Chains A and B, each alone.
Chain A
Amino acid sequence: MNIVGIAACTAGIAHTYVAKEKLVNAAESAGHKIHIETQGTIGIQDPIPDEMLKVADIAIIAADVKVSGKDRFQGIKTVEIPTDVVIKSPNKFIKKIEEIARKGD
């Protein structure tokens, strides 16, 4: 599965990046391809490449705050979730994502 997503937290200095790392590790160990963009206080880093967006099966918004560029996910099934849930249970979350993606078609 191809997963794209955004991570963003309130202070924008720590949870954002931990959430990204946990998601990437969990998704890759489950055999998925994943790209997570971070929107911290410093601004957008590691933006989602267009070619990844085109092939994305599902989008994750792991955020405690409003994120920008949500419109890129139009037409892609999108799951929004607070960062702490992703940080606590990344593998279970990826399992959930798989279920949700399957249900869609």
Chain B
Amino acid sequence: MSAYSSKKIFNILKQHALTAISYLIPIVVSGGFLLAIGNLFGGENIESINESFNFFDTLTTMGGLILGLLPVVIATGIAFSIADKPGIAPGFLVGLVSINMDAGFIGGFIGGYIAGYIAKYLRDKMKVPTWAEGLKPMLIIPFISSIIVGLIMYYILGTPISLLTQALNNFLLGLDTGQTLLFGAIIGILSSIDYGGPINKIVFAFLLTLQSEGINEPMAVLMLASMVTPFGFSMSYFMQKIFNKNIYTQMEVETLKTAFPMGVAMITEGCFPIVFNDLWRAILSTGIGGAIGGALSMYWSAGSPVPHGGLFAMVTMTNAWAWFAALMIGSLVTGIVFFLLKKRVDKDAVKILTEEDESDIDMDDLIVSK
């Protein structure tokens, strides 16, 4: 490790978090939709199967079960990413402990790293006599790493993390108007400007922690921010017709035809070809639209109990039409800014990116091994 720069270490830590999030996304989306649809039709949590329950009660209950276990998913995912299979047992345990101590998602997150590195250390460094080799992966690593990380949570980290989680929630619930607008704008910017890349995913993880505490407004902002680009760029297309300033090449217009429907489902990446043709103008217009849309959505307290789905998630939202209005305004701003910033182009021009247009490669981003 010592040979690595701090950027490299950060990249490695980030990779473990992103791996866990990649496992988490399908789980959280299915759980979120189950819960939201169940709740929409009056589903209630099934406390005991001896009582009668209906179809929507089952949806609500299944969704609640999944979302309640998110700290376990994130902790197991991180520990597995670090230590491979030996990380699963301690990761699973530390997630459960985190739930038990009300340390929530942040507890699972931090605990996952500790569990993973303990398991990895034992796997790589611990020497056992030959007769015990078979016991090492089966018994020794899972048991020792679990007990160490569990005790660290109970006696050292769990309580401060749970206090921190509470403090964060209280802070967010107590924001005044100006702070609400600012908070919405910041979330809007951070979750839009890298078009679904790592910054967006880290914000996503943070907002999931809030969602698991029942604070759904910031997630609505992230969803909106992922959509302002495809919607806004499509609006620019109509502006170029109205104001007779051609900003898209024919190829880019073709791109928009698939980017827009993808945007409806909250997938930004369809816009990539247009974004990469004009990176900084695109980022600037997306960021401004995301900030304004995000601030409005927060201010109008639109909340989304599901973390993905775009327009389809609207059925589950509180103040859904306010959210839609914020989305439209944010997109319009992105569209206008992009339209104004873009240079006029010949619509038949084919822009070919040459090597000189590319940014240099930072050697710290590379890991070479044999």
List residues of chain A with CB under 8 Å of any chain B CB.
9-15, 18, 41, 63-66, 75-82, 84-85, 87-93, 95-96, 100, 104
Contact = CB atoms under 8 A, between A and B. Distances in A.
Contact of B269 (A18, A64, A76): A18
A81 B366 contact: yes
Nearest to A22: B276
Given A81-B366, A84-B198, A91 B26 contact: no
Contacts of A12: 22
Contact of A75 (B18, B19, B370): B370
Contacts of A84: 194, 197-198
A12 B11 CA distance: 18
A92 B201 contact: no
Given A64-B18, A66-B81, A79-B366, A96 B361 contact: yes
Nearest to B363: A96
B198 A92 contact: no
A85 to B, nearest CB: 5
B25 interface: yes
29 contacts: A11-B25, A13-B269, A14-B268, A14-B269, A14-B272, A15-B197, A41-B25, A41-B26, A64-B18, A65-B18, A75-B370, A76-B370, A77-B369, A78-B368, A78-B369, A79-B368, A80-B368, A80-B369, A81-B365, A81-B367, A82-B365, A85-B365, A87-B272, A89-B359, A91-B354, A91-B358, A92-B359, A93-B361, A104-B370
A8 to B, nearest CB: 8
Contacts of B196: 11, 14-15
Given A10-B198, A79-B366, A64 B15 contact: yes
B302 interface: no
Given A14-B267, A92-B360, A93-B361, A100 B368 contact: yes
Given A41-B22, A75-B370, A92-B355, A11 B365 contact: no
Of A10, A13, A63, most buried by chain B (CB within 10 Å of CB) is A10
A95 B360 CA distance: 11
B359 A15 contact: no
A64 B358 contact: no
Given A12-B22, A13-B269, A90 B15 contact: no
Contacts of B14: 64
A39 to B, nearest CB: 10
B11 A87 contact: no
Contacts, number: 96
A1 to B, nearest CB: 15
Contacts of B93: none
A75 B369 CA distance: 9
Nearest to B362: A85
A89 B18 contact: no
Contacts of A95: 355
Given A10-B21, A88-B276, A91-B358, 18 more contacts: A9-B22, A10-B198, A11-B25, A11-B201, A15-B197, A18-B272, A41-B22, A64-B198, A65-B15, A66-B15, A66-B80, A77-B368, A78-B368, A84-B194, A87-B272, A89-B359, A89-B361, A93-B361
A90 B358 CA distance: 8
Interface string B3-28: 00000000100111011011001100
Contacts of A96: 361, 366
B201 A10 contact: yes
Nearest to A104: B370
Top 8 A-B pairs ranked by shortest CB distance?
A14-B269, A89-B358, A65-B19, A80-B367, A91-B355, A66-B19, A10-B18, A66-B81
